[in-house]
């Protein structure tokens, strides 16, 4: 009887905690990338980036009290970090259907409920060799939200590929898998949220795919193109996340307070706690993995910082959305089967979505060696082809 009362009290406490976490005041502003373009003007390399801030609140207006932009530079070869490039920055907003130069001072700006604000940043680089030396820019946006929730400091980052508008020859590596199948790993640029997932994958595969191929793409690159990554600085982790993360292996993405808080925000403390308890009981009788079955794909698809390539190694990457729809659209265009997979160097193969279930067994057998690699290969797209 005492045990039952303790469990009921624990359940009541956890449900109240979930209600508090879910309904506590939060900013509902989102920073969304739109597009970018590069051009030459007055002898300078000019980069124009368009962003949008949306207020998803139905009733509350929120202020952006400050916003600052910072650029990191990465070279062509080896994706090496670089510094000390001189540039001029100009910030504009669209107000009353007119573009307004802010002269690099951000005035406190009110964004009303269910409305949006368009922001344009223009960078001018005086270095003539800039395009030859630098391939990627990592735009970091530091911005303050101010409203009924108090004030929150956020950081959002977006990859700019300076060669993104160029046509490049395909780089494909052939990999023997076994006596029946071989793989073709397709090298890509570092992908980002300015890349449309469907059209980007199709473009890399044009002229490479053959009839009866099976196209696979890693879940993390797809999630990144969907802007499904977040800076740990944007998470307000709680005592629950600090406590619950201790129950996981140090290499797990749930072994840190931020990784755990992201899962709490998705499915709640109650479900996680009881999944841990039930998972522990099943582990005592030799049955592992019950926690991840009870918490769903969200828990197993979180990649904590350092879990992916530079410069995303400082972000937490979540699982992709609408993976089934992605597979269907690419499959219809290329007329081959398509799958989104989660593969690692330890022999783990998960097929998250596919255009046809009949290919799942083939993939689970042939992706054990992880032909896409688990490092900095930049080959997220792999074709599985039956040998002739």
Residue 76: per-residue pLDDT: 67
Q: For tokens 């962003």, what's the residue?
A: 51
- Please count the residues of the chain: 388
The tokens describing 292, both together, are 């991840």
Separation of CA 380 from chain center:
14
Q: How far apart are CA 354 and CA 364, in angstroms?
A: 12
Q: How far apart are CA 272 and CA 228, in angstroms?
A: 22
Residue 257: per-residue pLDDT: 95
Local structure of residue 112 (DSSP, 8 states): -
Q: Is 138 exposed, middle or buried (0-12, 13-18, 19+ CB in 10 A)?
A: buried
Which portions of the chain are predicted below pLDDT 70? 76-78, 128, 165-168, 375-377
The tokens describing 101, both together, are 């130069």
Q: For tokens 């005041």, what's the residue?
A: 25
Phi, psi of 59 (to 5 degrees): -130, -25
Separation of CA 261 from chain center:
16
Residue 376: per-residue pLDDT: 67
Residue 13: per-residue pLDDT: 84
Q: Which residues contact 301 (CB under 8 A, 6 or more apart)?
A: 219, 223, 318, 319, 320, 342, 352
Of 72, 321, 366, the closest CA to residue 216 belongs to: 366
pTM above 0.85, yes or no: yes
Q: Is 169 exposed, middle or buried (0-12, 13-18, 19+ CB in 10 A)?
A: exposed
Q: How far apart are CA 104 and CA 366, in angstroms?
A: 54
């Amino acid at each position: 009887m005492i045990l039952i009362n303790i469990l009921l009290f624990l359940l009541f406490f956890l449900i109240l905690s979930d209600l508090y976490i879910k309904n506590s005041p939060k900013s509902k502003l989102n920073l969304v990338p739109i597009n970018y373009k590069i051009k030459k003007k007055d002898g300078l390399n000019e980069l124009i980036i368009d962003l949008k801030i949306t207020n998803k609140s139905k009733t509350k207006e929120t202020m952006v009290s400050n916003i600052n932009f910072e650029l990191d530079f990465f070279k062509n070869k080896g994706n090496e970090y670089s510094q000390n490039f001189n540039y001029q920055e100009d910030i504009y907003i669209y107000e009353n259907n007119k573009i307004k130069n802010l002269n690099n001072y951000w005035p406190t700006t009110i964004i009303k409920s269910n409305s949006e604000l368009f922001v344009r940043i223009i960078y001018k680089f005086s270095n003539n060799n800039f395009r030859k030396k630098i391939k990627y820019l990592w735009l970091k946006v530091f911005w303050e939200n101010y409203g009924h929730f108090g004030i929150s400091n956020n950081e959002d980052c977006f990859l700019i590929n300076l060669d993104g508008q160029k046509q490049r020859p395909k780089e494909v590596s052939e990999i023997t898998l076994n006596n029946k199948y071989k793989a073709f790993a397709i090298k890509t640029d570092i992908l980002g949220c300015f890349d449309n997932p469907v059209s980007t994958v199709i473009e890399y595969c044009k002229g490479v795919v053959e009839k009866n191929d099976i196209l696979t793409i890693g879940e993390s690159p797809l999630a990144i193109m969907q802007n499904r990554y977040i800076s740990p600085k944007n998470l307000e982790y709680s005592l629950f996340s600090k406590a619950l993360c201790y129950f996981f292996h140090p290499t797990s993405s749930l072994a840190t307070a931020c990784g755990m808080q992201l899962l709490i925000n998705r499915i709640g403390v109650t479900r996680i706690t009881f999944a841990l308890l039930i998972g522990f009981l099943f582990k005592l009788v030799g049955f592992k993995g019950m926690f991840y079955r009870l918490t769903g794909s969200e828990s197993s698809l979180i990649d904590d910082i350092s879990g992916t390539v530079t410069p995303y190694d400082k972000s937490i990457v979540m699982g992709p959305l609408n993976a089934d729809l992605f597979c269907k659209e690419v499959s219809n265009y290329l007329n081959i089967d398509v799958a989104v997979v989660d593969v690692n160097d330890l022999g783990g193969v998960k097929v998250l979505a596919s255009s046809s279930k009949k290919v799942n067994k083939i993939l689970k057998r042939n992706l054990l060696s992880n032909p896409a690699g688990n490092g900095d290969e930049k080959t997220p797209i792999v074709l599985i082809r039956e040998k002739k």
